[in-house]
Amino acid sequence: MSDTTATTIGATTEPEGPQLLSWDSRARRVVTIYVPLACFLVILLFPFYWMGITTFKPNSELLNYKDNNPFWISSPTLDNIRKLLFETDYPRWLTTTMAVAFASTALSLVSSVLAAYAIQRLRFRGSNYVGLAIYIAYLVPPSILFIPLAQVVFQLGLFDTPFALILTYPTFLIPFCTWLLIGYFKSIPYELEECALIDGASRLQILRRITLPLAVPGLISAGIFAFTLSWNEFIYALAFISSTEKKTVPVAILTELVQGDVYHWGSLMAGALLGSLPVAIFYSFFVEYYVSSLTGAVKE
């Protein structure tokens, strides 16, 4: 993604004057675009690099950086990954996290589509206030909300089950997705729906056959956001799950791979690396849509 940004910006500032200017403007371009971009990339990617090399480092190399270059691996090993996959519940954590993320994302998307459509298009009495209320709900920080939610989770007997997470994540996912989709629905011309109304469609048919197909980029970015947020969620997962084998990846690697004050750095990093791969892969499929939904509206 950063690559495309760089080339498009470069292309628009392509020097058009005589040769004389070209060195000057190339230098300027390097200073104004490539140098800041490079700094940005280095700062952004360094933690991933560190995570990557630590994953494949034997412990001896990791702990002794006087004799070894800390930025490089001399004898790479798969030991950490093997330990993670076969000596811990990591595969279970991963599947749990994935299942929870998918379920809560799906649940939130469905609710948000209906809520956003009603608020933006049906304009029922007080729809503005409902929209505002949903937004305010989003402003309550999870670090406060988990206390009353814990009560609810206990009462419903959901404690230490995946449902505790699937049903609580939407408390922050729905407001987020609803607001994103309200903005997206707003960009779809009203006439299309009026025309469909005259053509004989019911509200639900309009939603399904006109609005949603046109809102696909918006749905995808809402989906990605929701998926990422639930994948990385920490507080609820920490508070509502206690059994080791039911934990999600972010909580599990922290609670299970740090024993007392012993940090299993290799496995920890391996866990983090494997844990961020699904999100990265998921992202890469939809980058196009994602960018277009943030930058463009529906055009006829």
Partner 1 sequence: MATVSIRSVRKAFGSTEVLHGVDVEVQDGEFVILVGPSGCGKSTLLRMIAGLENITRGEIAIGGRVVNNVAPKERDIAMVFQNYALYPHMTVRDNMAFSLKLAKAPPAVISDKVGRAADILGLTPYLDRYPRQLSGGQRQRVAMGRAIVRDPQVFLFDEPLSNLDAKLRVQMRAEIKDLHQRLKTTTVYVTHDQIEAMTMADKIVVMHAGNVEQIGAPLELYDRPANLFVAGFIGSPAMNFFKGRVESGAFRFDGAQLPLPRAAPGVNGASVIYGVRPEHWQLSADGIDAVVHVLEPTGSETQVMARIADTPVVCAFRERITAQPGESIRIAPDPALVHLFDEKTGVRLN
Site residues, partner 1 (CB under 8 A): 189, 191-192, 194-201, 205, 209-210, 213-214, 298-300
Nearer of residues 25 and 127 to partner 1, judged by Cβ? 127
- Residue given tokens 């058009």 in the structure block: 16
Instruction: Tell me how far, at minimum, the Cβ of 133 lies from partner 1, in Å.
Output: 24
Instruction: Tell me how far, at minimum, the Cβ of 296 lies from partner 1, in Å.
Output: 13
Instruction: Tell me how far, at minimum, the Cβ of 189 lies from partner 1, in Å.
Output: 7
Nearer of residues 37 and 197 to partner 1, judged by Cβ? 197
Instruction: Tell me how far, at minimum, the Cβ of 125 lies from partner 1, in Å.
Output: 14
Nearer of residues 95 and 128 to partner 1, judged by Cβ? 128
From CA 90, how far away is CA 103, in angstroms rounded?
20
Nearer of residues 196 and 272 to partner 1, judged by Cβ? 196
Nearer of residues 4 and 128 to partner 1, judged by Cβ? 128
Nearer of residues 103 and 196 to partner 1, judged by Cβ? 196
Nearer of residues 24 and 194 to partner 1, judged by Cβ? 194
Alpha-carbon dihedral 102, 103, 104, 108, rounded to 10 degrees: 100
HEC profile of the chain: CHHHHHHHHHHHCCCCCCHHHHHHHHHHHHHHHHHHHHHHHHHHHHHHHHHHHHHCCCHHHHHCCCCCCCCCCCCCCCHHHHHHHHHCCHHHHHHHHHHHHHHHHHHHHHHHHHHHHHHHHHCCCCHHHHHHHHHHHHHCCHHHHHHHHHHHHHHCCCCCCHHHHHHHCHHHHHHHHHHHHHHHHHCCCHHHHHHHHHCCCCHHHHHHHHHHHHCHHHHHHHHHHHHHHHHHCCHHHHHHCCCHHHCCHHHHHHHHCEECCEECHHHHHHHHHHHHHHHHHHHHHHHHHHHHHHHCCCCC
Instruction: Tell me how far, at minimum, the Cβ of 136 lies from partner 1, in Å.
Output: 28
Instruction: Tell me how far, at minimum, the Cβ of 82 lies from partner 1, in Å.
Output: 49
Instruction: Tell me how far, at minimum, the Cβ of 194 lies from partner 1, in Å.
Output: 5
From CA 203, how far away is CA 210, in angstroms rounded?
10
Q: Which amino acid is at 130?
A: V
Instruction: Tell me how far, at minimum, the Cβ of 200 lies from partner 1, in Å.
Output: 4
Nearer of residues 201 and 291 to partner 1, judged by Cβ? 201
